[in-house]
Amino acid sequence: MFIPLPLCMLAVAQGNAPITVTRGKVHEHLGMTLDFSEPGKFKVKMVDYVDSMLESLPDDMGGIAATPAGDHLFEVNNDNPTKLDEKTAQLFHHLVAKALFLCKRARPDLQTAVAFLSTRVKEPDADDYKKLKRMMEYLRGTRELHLTLEAEDLHVIKWWIDASFAVHPDMKSHAGGCLSLGKGSVHGTSTRQKLNTKSSTEAELAGMNDVLPQVLWTRYFLEAQGYEVRDNVVFQDNQSTMLLANNGRGSSGKRTRHIEIRCFFVTDRINQKQMRVACCPTAEMIADYFTKPLQGALFRRLRDAILNIPQKHSPASIAMP
């Protein structure tokens, strides 16, 4: 069983305060309920934390939304934005910061929306406020959702890495990554890429390169704990990106010869047998969730795979392979 946190939680206060020790299968820690009561599963719940966020919302955030973000999430009004007043801007910053804490622990389904909103806290405008409103309304309708982790094999690490090409106003792409050791997302990332790319193939390769440090660190960490890593696989849905990753410059043509050499760091690690790249059908690319604001059935299928929500009556659900 994979247990990312120790069974015994120790909280040491500053000064001479006594050490508090808690034992058992359910622990409260930093707003999280850590539940080990079901064999083979580890649940992270933050319902009380979510409720405290919802109670602090203004009256205009009282509805319910089906998804945390609309299709226009990455669109920015640079022509005539209506800036928020100081009080509302502070509320915007406060709620985004709390949502960031939440999505990194128990609610990775918020991560794509939070990734964008976190870039807007400096000077939020009315459009940004509407996007925050949408996310909080989704949170109200899903307040009891939580993350459930199950490990099938601690010797096999599985990653999904994807990118959406040129979706930001500055024409930069958005990359996402997801790690699982069985069911549920142990680690997720959603971020705007730092460099402009000329094609979806290049965006995918740059995304893989950006996530690679975490891919390698995870392997080194497990090995340091005494686990032999037999397979460290990155699933990719772009065949051209896979060729470039596996062969480096050997598969580069006139449309990809400009790609920076740093993007072929992944090729070196593949050659060293520290990881491998495998094909994943686009319809099952779980990291797609972290690259764009999905809607409808696809949103629900990928969200349920990331949070490990049982879908006993839904044959169309996706399980992390």
Taking residues 122-132, what's their average pLDDT?
97
With contact defined as beta carbons under 8 Å apart, do 101 and 30 qualify?
A: no
Does 319 map to a domain? no
Global pTM reads: 0.86
The arithmetic mean of pLDDT across residues 290-297, rounded, is 96
Provide mean pLDDT across the span 35-61: 95
Q: Report how far residue 266's alpha carbon sits from residue 240's, in angstroms, rounded to the nearest whole number.
A: 14
Given a cut of 60, is residue 294 above it in pLDDT?
A: yes
245 pLDDT more than 90 = no
> In this structure, are 289 and 185 located in the same domain?
yes
Residue-level pLDDT at 23: 87
Rg of the chain on CA atoms, in Å: 21
Residue where a domain stops, chosen among 136, 151, 166? 151
Which H, E and C letters describe 230-275, residue by residue? CEEEEEECCHHHHHHHHHHHHHCCCCCCCCCHHHHHHHHHHHCCCC
Examine the domain organization and report whether 116 and 187 are in the same domain.
no
- The verdict on 157 and 258 lying in the same domain is yes
Residues 28 and 145 in one domain: yes
pLDDT at 131 exceeding the cut of 60: yes
Instruction: Note whether 129 and 176 are same-domain residues.
Output: no
Instruction: Tell me the pLDDT band of 128, cut-offs 50, 70 and 90.
Output: very high
| Residues 250, 126 share a domain | no
> Which residue has 């996530």 as its token pair?
211
Residue 280: pLDDT band with limits 50, 70, 90: very high
Residue 212: half-sphere exposure toward Cβ, Cα within 13 Å: 21
Same domain flag for 287 and 297? yes
CATH number at residue 279: 3.30.420.10
- Segment 140-160 shows an average pLDDT of 95
C-alpha to C-alpha distance for 194 and 189, rounded to whole angstroms: 14
For 235, the domain range is 152-307
Query: Average pLDDT of the chain?
Result: 88
Residue 258 has a pLDDT of 52
- Domains in the chain: how many in total? 2
Percent of the chain whose pLDDT exceeds 70: 87
Residue 304, token pair as written in the block = 């349920």
Q: Decide if 318 is inside a domain.
A: no
Give pLDDT tens digits for 91-101: 999 999 999 99
In a domain, 30, yes or no: yes
Long-range CB contacts for residues 53-56, cutoff 8 Å, separation at least 24: 53/95, 53/98, 53/99, 53/102, 53/136, 53/139, 54/136, 54/139, 54/140, 54/143, 56/95
For residues 140 and 208, membership in a common domain is answered with no
pLDDT number for residue 103: 97
What is the per-residue pLDDT for 121?
A: 96
Q: What is the mean pLDDT of residues 214-242?
A: 94
Q: pLDDT band at residue 18, thresholds of 50, 70 and 90? A: confident
- The per-residue pLDDT for 247 is 80
CA distance 115 to 188: 11
